[in-house]
């Protein structure tokens, strides 16, 4: 069988790629959403599809140069199950890594589903090792009882903590800057995050988060210490296009305020928003395996663990 590789074409290929990304990431991806994302990151992405003799797509790779970590590339290589064992994945990976800037890269990273040992073996044979394990957790909102947390929230409010949202704060640039500072510091100091930052700057955060279609100011719940004006905790929740459940993007507490049950309180406030405003019956989120404090909170709330992914890395000396 003859397999041809060619550059990805948004207008003809993204419907298929969106379906494949949905199976890779366990998150619904739409053609429109993928096009929007690609438009934002196109200058950093190289993507090719594998096509058989009949013109049918049989796989792809999607390679992204990291936004601000020099010499790092993140990628996906995917072949649908019915077309595996034909060398298509090997061909895609070989073509991708033959590009001079990739061959000379300091670091390559890929996510591999934790319920697919053959995918992990494919990565390990090429020199990749596990650096992090992420998994999904899901909560049934129909059976979730939030009443036991009323007392915790009332206590915190009595101590001077204000529970509010970006919408209530006007979603101003000043508020967005404070949200960025809290989000960035809390996520980088999360156990297992190893100090990594998700955004290069406030401008990057504003473009990637605040200007995205999924960003809902009313679903960006924040807790402010009224005695000092410091932003102490946050929980961001939304409903992504194509999903019948809400997604809790991140819940974090400033290091100075940890140990006071702010994480539980702000997350419950976000779950109430999901139930009342988003009209969903389930909420999902992701954790890295080392983030034991937040995993413990979610288990207490009633979340159950679902399949996840290994973050695999290859470092070139």
What CATH number corresponds to the domain at position 44? 3.40.630.30
Specify whether the CB–CB gap between 245 and 239 falls below 8 A. Answer: yes
Specify whether the CB–CB gap between 46 and 63 falls below 8 A. Answer: yes
Task: List Cα–Cα distances, 206 to 183, 202, 210, 235, in angstroms.
Answer: 12, 6, 5, 17
Q: Which residues of the chain have pLDDT under 70?
A: 1
Is 8 among the domain residues?
Answer: yes
What is the extent of the structural domain holding 189? 137-310
Query: Rounded to two decimals, what is the model's pTM?
Result: 0.80
Residues 33 and 149 in one domain: no
Tens-digit pLDDT profile for residues 285-304:
999 888 999 999 999 999 99
Angle (nearest 5°) at CA 213 between 307 and 183: 65
* Sequence-distant (≥ 6) Cβ neighbours of residue 269 within 8 angstroms: 153, 163, 221, 235
**How many separate domains does the chain show?**
2
- CB neighbourhood size of 42 (10 A): 11
Tens-digit pLDDT profile for residues 7-60:
999 999 999 999 999 888 877 788 988 998 898 899 999 999 999 999 999 999
Specify whether the CB–CB gap between 107 and 313 falls below 8 A. Answer: yes
Tens-digit pLDDT profile for residues 243-263:
889 999 999 999 999 999 999
**Helices 292-301 and 262-273: angle between axes, nearest 10 degrees:** 50
């Amino acid at each position: 069988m003859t397999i041809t590789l060619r550059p990805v074409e948004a207008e003809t290929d993204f419907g298929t790629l969106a379906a494949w990304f949905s199976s890779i990431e366990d998150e619904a991806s739409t053609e429109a959403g993928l096009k929007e994302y690609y438009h934002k990151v196109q200058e950093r992405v190289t993507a090719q599809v594998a096509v058989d003799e009949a013109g049918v797509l049989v796989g792809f790779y999607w390679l992204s140069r990291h936004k601000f970590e020099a010499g790092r590339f993140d990628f996906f290589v995917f072949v649908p199950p019915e077309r595996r064992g034909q060398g298509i994945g090997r061909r895609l990976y070989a073509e991708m890594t033959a590009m001079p800037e990739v061959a000379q890269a300091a670091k390559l990273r890929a996510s591999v589903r934790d319920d697919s040992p053959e995918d992990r073996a494919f990565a390990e044979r090429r020199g990749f090792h596990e650096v992090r394990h992420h998994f999904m957790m899901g909560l049934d909102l129909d059976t979730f009882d939030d009443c036991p947390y009323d007392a915790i929230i009332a206590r915190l409010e009595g101590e001077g903590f204000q529970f509010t949202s970006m919408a209530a704060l006007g979603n101003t640039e000043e508020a967005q800057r404070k949200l960025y500072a809290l989000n960035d510091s809390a996520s980088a100091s999360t156990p297992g995050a190893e100090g990594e930052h998700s955004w290069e700057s406030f401008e990057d955060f504003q473009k990637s988060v605040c200007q995205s279609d999924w960003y809902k100011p009313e679903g960006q719940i924040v807790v402010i210490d009224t005695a000092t004006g410091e932003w102490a905790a946050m929980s961001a929740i939304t409903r992504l296009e194509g999903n019948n459940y809400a997604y809790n993007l991140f819940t974090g507490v400033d290091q100075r305020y940890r140990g006071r049950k702010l994480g539980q309180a702000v997350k419950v406030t976000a779950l109430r928003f999901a139930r009342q405003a988003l009209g969903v019956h389930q909420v999902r989120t992701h954790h890295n395996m080392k983030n034991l404090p937040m995993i413990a909170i979610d288990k207490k709330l009633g979340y159950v663990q679902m399949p996840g992914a290994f973050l695999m890395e290859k470092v070139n000396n």
